[in-house]
Chains A and B, each alone.
Chain A
Amino acid sequence: MNAASWGWLVLLFPLLGSVLIGATFRVLPARTAGLIGIGAIVAAFVCGIAAVVSLQGEPAESRHVTDSLWQYASVGGLSIDLGIYVDPLSLFMVLVVTGVSSLIHIYSYSYMKSDAGYHRFFSYLNFFVFSMLLLVLAGNYVLLIVGWAFVGFASYALISFWYRRETATRAGMKAFVINVVGDIGLVLAAILIFRELGVIDYGAVFEKAPEVFTTTNEWTAVAICLLLLVGAFAKSAQMPFHTWLADAMEGPTPVSSLIHAATMVTAGVYLVGRSYPLFELAPAAADVAAIVGLVTLLVAGTIAIVVTDLKRIIAYSTMSQIGYMFVAVGIGAYSAGFFHLMTHAFFKALLFMAAGSVIAAMANIQNIDRMKGFYRAMPFTAAMLIIGALALSGFPGTSGWFSKDEIIDFASFRGGWYEIFAIGGYIGAFMTAIYSFRIIFRILPGPPCEEAAHLIETGHVVHGEPVNPATGEKEDVEVGYPGEDHHIAEQATGMKIGMSVLGFLALVGGLVQIPGVTEVITHFLEPTFEDSPLAAMHPSVSEAWKGLAKGAVISVVGIAFTWWLYIGRPSVPETLRRTFRPVYTLFVNKWYGDQIIDFLIVRPVKGLGRFADRVFEPFVINGLTGGTIAIVRSAGGAVRDLQSGMLRSYALLMAVGTVAILLYLLIRSL
């Protein structure tokens, strides 16, 4: 079997799993559904590995396979195949997605144990994985859009998974609509690509693009790339399309872990990497990607430092880390960007899982101000949190250290004005250290809070009243909300397996890409980026190590500073907050992103709607209608008066009419 056949199998298993669980939800025992879900993803992972093996058997220059099932649609020369494109990049994504998904499925198997919507959860989750795989394996831009929209839909369905919560449904709507805006960007990009190049399949597009766009920064090429970026930013929660991600934390924690940290939100990075031949023809657009990435990474970092909702801190950190990836693919550090994508998937999924464990123990309270002393209450989770935070902040030796600093190195290596990406990257890294260890120092040490104490004493988590963490309202537990028997914490085996494997990967995952030693990722992805002059550039090994040393210093100093801030001098944060009140207000209100979008887009559209409804409809449309009706009615009225019912007046009219006609004929004949 060749790589493409394995690729189809990768797609098939999650889809089958989703349909099977969905179709048999009435008869299938819940645990079996979970096992089917896990099995489908693991099978996809195995097929992914088989595809890699099969593809590595080929010589480097022919390591891309396309295959098409049937013609999806073809009219007027615009022909779309239901085809996949298998090359190192797509398989890399397949492995990351299926690998992390498998672990998160195993985690969810335990975590969602008491949820009434168990089948639904696994059906959606498998569908999500299918969509994500479709996105990365798609062989043309239209199929990419299909996968793109399907992950958006799956994300919507899982954000509003607890659909009796109005906050959840509202968040789902927001995510979906913003993602549709992104989809439109992609649609227009695909149309423009077809108009300029006459093809839509990846291979053909990348082949023809250099022939058509002969000079750099031709405006159509820039327009295509900017439209692609609209889609990428919307999906990856980059500014100004970032507001949905924090609200998306309304979904169950495994969902946040899988979709809103490890996989879906990195789709934008994949898109830019996939379309690198276009972006290299339009460097201006690539710079836009990098700049937006930089801005997002800084802004999100500042927000993550001040918010107090545990999941939201991690969500803003995700935005920030994806900012790094955009910087990477924008400046041409492709393999570094995808390396960071992979390590980020490990440590961010881990952090969310550990956070989920803590939140479950807190009876769904997510405010870190309330959490204390979990080091003693949940040692395993605490260890995982620390590993995740270390990797996230780039502590020397961890996976995040290798990946993040490789991006920053490349920026300073390119030199010129790209230097600002390096500087911004270091500032971001410092903030990363602060916010990740803020979590650690706030919730792990100290005297145990009420819930943690309960856990230490009884060995069971608190069964609090189920409340909505966003509003504090009492929750309706009948449908799909963890009920009173929801007392999983770190004791559950599934959760432990998921976390420990990821913890291991987060610690040592960086070893595959040690500068000058292993560099597995770079070599693996080389065939995909073989035509790129940027990918061929490398900082020398010594420069790379110098960069890593700088990163190590920043990370350690940042952690020490945070320790001083929260453990050494606990009064300092409050003082800082008071001294820089305007800045704090700006940060804690997320730079007013929601309000700005509300003001610029939501309100005008609503106003237009109100205008149409209150003014236009009654006056213009109904005026038009009413006017027509009035004319018809008055014309009818005029005729009606003749219908007197008087027989003799009818006869007279007839006689007069006849005479008139006769007279007319007479006069004419004269």
Chain B
Amino acid sequence: MAIEWYLVLSAMLFSIGLAGVLIRRNPVVILLCLELMLSGGALAMLAFSRLHGDGDGQVFVLMVLVVAASEVVVGLGLVVAMFRRRIPLDVDEMKELRG
């Protein structure tokens, strides 16, 4: 099978994720969408790995999975903490970094 289809799928996953991140305000959903973007990237790397016939891409994907897992751990932890402190789960409300 040609590599294009994998890349198209990967691009679609990435775009859906990006759109979600930009549109949604709920941090849980944003985290989910981030996962989608990461998966899109991972898929592309796998495809290229297959195409070139070496293992580099797969190594990267493993890395990405680890990072994604840790990110979810930290992210969801933050979300739970916010929920406990009754902070509204809305990223637009959190702009203390404003310059």
Question: Which residues of A lie under 8 Å from residue B96 when comparing CB positions?
Answer: 645
The reply to whether A643 and B21 form a contact with Cβ atoms under 8 Å apart is no
Question: Which residues of B lie under 8 Å from residue A648 when comparing CB positions?
Answer: 21-22, 25, 91-92
Smallest distance from the beta carbon of B19 to chain A beta carbons, Å? 10
The reply to whether A655 and B95 form a contact with Cβ atoms under 8 Å apart is no
Q: How far apart are the CA atoms of A648 and B19 in the complex, in Å?
A: 11
Is A640 at the interface (CB under 8 A from chain B)?
yes
| Contact of A643 with B25 at beta-carbon distance under 8 Å, contacts A648-B91, A655-B18 already known | no
B85-99 interface with A by 8 A CB criterion = 91-92, 94-99
The reply to whether B98 and A645 form a contact with Cβ atoms under 8 Å apart is yes
Q: How far apart are the CA atoms of A647 and B57 in the complex, in Å?
A: 30
Q: How far apart are the CA atoms of A647 and B93 in the complex, in Å?
A: 10
The reply to whether A645 and B95 form a contact with Cβ atoms under 8 Å apart is yes
Which residue from chain B places its CB closest to the CB of A650 in the assembled complex? B97
Smallest distance from the beta carbon of A628 to chain B beta carbons, Å? 22
Q: How far apart are the CA atoms of A647 and B99 in the complex, in Å?
A: 13
Which residue from chain A places its CB closest to the CB of B21 in the assembled complex? A651
Is A71 at the interface (CB under 8 A from chain B)?
no
Is A644 at the interface (CB under 8 A from chain B)?
yes
Q: How far apart are the CA atoms of A642 and B97 in the complex, in Å?
A: 11
Smallest distance from the beta carbon of B34 to chain A beta carbons, Å? 10
Question: Which residues of A lie under 8 Å from residue B22 when comparing CB positions?
Answer: 648, 651-652, 655
Q: How far apart are the CA atoms of A646 and B97 in the complex, in Å?
A: 8
Q: How far apart are the CA atoms of A644 and B97 in the complex, in Å?
A: 7
The reply to whether A643 and B99 form a contact with Cβ atoms under 8 Å apart is yes
Per-residue interface assignment for chain B, residues 7 to 32, with 1 indicating a CB less than 8 Å from any chain A CB and 0 otherwise: 00000000000100110010000000
Question: Which residues of B lie under 8 Å from residue A655 when comparing CB positions?
Answer: 18, 22
Q: How far apart are the CA atoms of A475 and B98 in the complex, in Å?
A: 69
B60-99 interface with A by 8 A CB criterion = 91-92, 94-99
Question: Which residues of B lie under 8 Å from residue A644 when comparing CB positions?
Answer: 95, 98
Per-residue interface assignment for chain A, residues 628 to 654, with 1 indicating a CB less than 8 Å from any chain B CB and 0 otherwise: 000000000001111111111001100
The reply to whether A643 and B97 form a contact with Cβ atoms under 8 Å apart is yes
Find the residue from A639, A640, A646 having the highest chain B CB count within 10 A. A646
Question: Which residues of A lie under 8 Å from residue B25 when comparing CB positions?
Answer: 648
Question: Which residues of B lie under 8 Å from residue A651 when comparing CB positions?
Answer: 21-22
Interface residues on B, range: 10 to 19
The reply to whether A640 and B99 form a contact with Cβ atoms under 8 Å apart is yes
Q: How far apart are the CA atoms of A646 and B99 in the complex, in Å?
A: 11
What's the A-B contact tally at a CB cutoff of 8 Å?
A: 32
Per-residue interface assignment for chain B, residues 25 to 54, with 1 indicating a CB less than 8 Å from any chain A CB and 0 otherwise: 100000000000000000000000000000
Q: How far apart are the CA atoms of A639 and B96 in the complex, in Å?
A: 17
Smallest distance from the beta carbon of A343 to chain B beta carbons, Å? 87
Find the residue from B25, B92, B96 having the highest chain A CB count within 10 A. B92
A611-670 interface with B by 8 A CB criterion = 639-648, 651-652, 655
Q: How far apart are the CA atoms of A647 and B94 in the complex, in Å?
A: 8
Question: Which residues of A lie under 8 Å from residue B99 when comparing CB positions?
Answer: 639-643, 645
Q: How far apart are the CA atoms of A612 and B18 in the complex, in Å?
A: 62
Smallest distance from the beta carbon of A372 to chain B beta carbons, Å? 88
Which residue from chain A places its CB closest to the CB of B19 in the assembled complex? A655
The reply to whether A646 and B92 form a contact with Cβ atoms under 8 Å apart is yes
Question: Which residues of B lie under 8 Å from residue A652 when comparing CB positions?
Answer: 22
| Contact of A647 with B91 at beta-carbon distance under 8 Å, contacts A652-B22, A655-B18, A655-B22 already known | yes
Which residue from chain A places its CB closest to the CB of B94 in the assembled complex? A647
Which residue from chain B places its CB closest to the CB of A641 in the assembled complex? B99
Q: How far apart are the CA atoms of A640 and B92 in the complex, in Å?
A: 18
Q: How far apart are the CA atoms of A645 and B94 in the complex, in Å?
A: 7
Question: Which residues of A lie under 8 Å from residue B98 when comparing CB positions?
Answer: 643-645
Per-residue interface assignment for chain A, residues 490 to 504, with 1 indicating a CB less than 8 Å from any chain B CB and 0 otherwise: 000000000000000
Smallest distance from the beta carbon of B18 to chain A beta carbons, Å? 6
Per-residue interface assignment for chain A, residues 412 to 436, with 1 indicating a CB less than 8 Å from any chain B CB and 0 otherwise: 0000000000000000000000000
Which residue from chain B places its CB closest to the CB of A655 in the assembled complex? B18
Q: How far apart are the CA atoms of A435 and B99 in the complex, in Å?
A: 85
Which residue from chain A places its CB closest to the CB of B25 in the assembled complex? A648
Which residue from chain B places its CB closest to the CB of A636 in the assembled complex? B99
Question: Which residues of B lie under 8 Å from residue A639 when comparing CB positions?
Answer: 99
Q: How far apart are the CA atoms of A644 and B98 in the complex, in Å?
A: 5
Question: Which residues of B lie under 8 Å from residue A642 when comparing CB positions?
Answer: 99
Which residue from chain B places its CB closest to the CB of A659 in the assembled complex? B18
Which residue from chain B places its CB closest to the CB of A642 in the assembled complex? B99
Q: How far apart are the CA atoms of A655 and B21 in the complex, in Å?
A: 11
Smallest distance from the beta carbon of A586 to chain B beta carbons, Å? 75
Smallest distance from the beta carbon of A634 to chain B beta carbons, Å? 14
Which residue from chain A places its CB closest to the CB of B23 in the assembled complex? A648
Which residue from chain A places its CB closest to the CB of B27 in the assembled complex? A647
Q: How far apart are the CA atoms of A643 and B96 in the complex, in Å?
A: 10
Question: Which residues of B lie under 8 Å from residue A646 when comparing CB positions?
Answer: 91-92, 95
Question: Which residues of B lie under 8 Å from residue A643 when comparing CB positions?
Answer: 97-99
Q: How far apart are the CA atoms of A648 and B98 in the complex, in Å?
A: 13
Question: Which residues of B lie under 8 Å from residue A641 when comparing CB positions?
Answer: 99
Q: How far apart are the CA atoms of A652 and B18 in the complex, in Å?
A: 9
Question: Which residues of A lie under 8 Å from residue B95 when comparing CB positions?
Answer: 644-647
Smallest distance from the beta carbon of A636 to chain B beta carbons, Å? 9
Q: How far apart are the CA atoms of A642 and B95 in the complex, in Å?
A: 12
Q: How far apart are the CA atoms of A641 and B99 in the complex, in Å?
A: 7
Q: How far apart are the CA atoms of A642 and B98 in the complex, in Å?
A: 9
Q: How far apart are the CA atoms of A640 and B98 in the complex, in Å?
A: 8
Which residue from chain B places its CB closest to the CB of A639 in the assembled complex? B99
Residue numbers of A with Cβ under 8 A of B are 639-648, 651-652, 655
Residue numbers of B with Cβ under 8 A of A are 18, 21-22, 25, 91-92, 94-99
**Can you list 16 A-B contacts with CB-CB less than 8 angstroms, sorted by A residue number?**
A639-B99, A641-B99, A642-B99, A643-B98, A644-B95, A644-B98, A645-B94, A645-B96, A645-B99, A646-B91, A646-B92, A647-B91, A648-B22, A648-B91, A651-B21, A651-B22
Extra contacts besides A644-B95, A651-B21 (8): CB < 8 Å: A641-B99, A645-B94, A645-B96, A646-B91, A646-B95, A648-B21, A648-B22, A655-B18
5 shortest interchain CB distances as A-B pairs: A645-B95, A643-B99, A645-B98, A640-B99, A645-B97
